[in-house]
Amino acid sequence: MYHNQVNGRFLIVNTRIFMKKSCLFLSLLALIFSSTACKNDKQKTSHEEMGQDTENLLDMRYKMLLKYPVDSIGFPRSYRYKSKEVHKVPSKDWTSGFFPGNLWQIYQLTGDEVFKERAAKWTSFIEKEKFNDGTHDMGFKVFCSFGEGLKVASNDKYEAVIVKSAQTLATRFVKNVGCIRSWDFNKDIWEFPVIIDNMMNLELLFEATKISGDSTFHKIAVSHANTTLKNHFREDNSSYHVVVYDTISGKVKDKVTHQGLNADSAWARGQAWGIYGFTMAYRYTGDDRYLNQAKSSLNFYLNHQNLREDGIPYWDFNDPNIPHAVRDVSAASIVASACYELSKYDSDKVYEQYADKVLSTLMSEEYILGPDIDAPFILMHSTGNWPNNNEMDEPIVYSDYYFLEALQRKKVFETSL
């Protein structure tokens, strides 16, 4: 009897202890979950605030483009930190078309009519370049301005400017070589130079054929792309910057650089031009060789041991000062934009993933200019011409152009899913 009572009391006591411990455990568990939830909520709020801050910063940078005074002979090209000055250029400069192009693209991203109106004003200042036969950069100047305007609305005048520009550019094509001549300087050294950048100007020719029905432009573009495909790439699918041809035989005389570290290095923006250029050429032709080259060159770029973790390359993959070399955001922006297009032609997720990574990196205070910089630019850390010590680690207009294009393409890509 006593034994049973003791056992019963022991059972009751143990039950009470168990219940107390259970309550304590549940309270502790609840506290942990509550703490974790609060922490997650704080992190979520923090991330949301960071995202909102970045959007506000980006919106502020957009407005800086409107603040810049309209000037028919002063297109903003880059910003010089030391002198706190905007480097301005006339319409004949190869970068002139990017600023009006940026305004057109911001209009497409925001729907704000004031950007559209300002873009049209700046675009009109470039029209005279349709007669300039002393340059291969007709695509950069004319198509990045008038071409962007045509994406907003049909315009017979804009179409006429593009066709006339294509006719002018076609005069630089030499059949024996199969290419459009790039620069006219250094003639005593370079008989007929062709740079990888020139692939980007082919879009103007392709579009001119679509507008006019004249296949001459398309044929010239294809010939140039085929010759570049044959002679510009190394076995590892990196690209030379400059290939020099003999105008009589059409044979290659030399392979050099003008903006890279040396003739055998992989200049980052040069690789970007090739990736983007052959992706674009595939869009107009459906030629699998172009697509394969774009993918092979991208594979070289993405898997290079010197590509930074944040996706932004150093200005040249072979700079011996890496990791202390300057970066080139413009190269990353160009490749990111090309990757969104490549993702339309190939199901490999690597293209979209890299492009998303670059945009995520750039959409930060580390790369977006702060409110203290009174200049019509968006991004920091681009490099123009390292050998000439020119535009080193500065905001440069074409970096913004391809960044904005990548934002647009991402928007379209996500909408199509």
The 8-class DSSP code of residue 241 comes to S
> What is d(CA 356, CA 340) in angstroms, rounded to the nearest whole number?
9
Contact 115, 107 (CB under 8 A): yes
Q: Is 375 exposed, middle or buried (0-12, 13-18, 19+ CB in 10 A)?
A: buried
Choosing from 59, 93, 133, 137, the catalytic residue is: 137
Question: How far does Cα 370 stand from its chain's mean position?
Answer: 20
Beta-carbon count within 10 A of 256 CB? 17
Q: What are the angstrom distances between the C-alpha of 315 and each of 229, 300, 303, 393? A: 23, 15, 16, 9
Closest CA to 361 of 382, 333, 393: 333
Question: How far does Cα 82 stand from its chain's mean position?
Answer: 26
In the residue annotation, 264 being an active-site residue is answered as no
Contact 170, 185 (CB under 8 A): no
Q: Is 43 exposed, middle or buried (0-12, 13-18, 19+ CB in 10 A)?
A: exposed
Residue 321, CB-side half-sphere exposure with 13 Å CA sphere: 9
Choosing from 197, 328, 393, 400, the catalytic residue is: 197
The 8-class DSSP code of residue 140 comes to I
In the residue annotation, 236 being an active-site residue is answered as no
> What is d(CA 95, CA 140) in angstroms, rounded to the nearest whole number?
7
> What is d(CA 362, CA 38) in angstroms, rounded to the nearest whole number?
29
Contact 72, 88 (CB under 8 A): no
Hey, what are 50's tokens? 């960071």
> What is d(CA 201, CA 277) in angstroms, rounded to the nearest whole number?
8
The 8-class DSSP code of residue 187 comes to T
Query: Residues with catalytic annotation?
Result: 137, 197
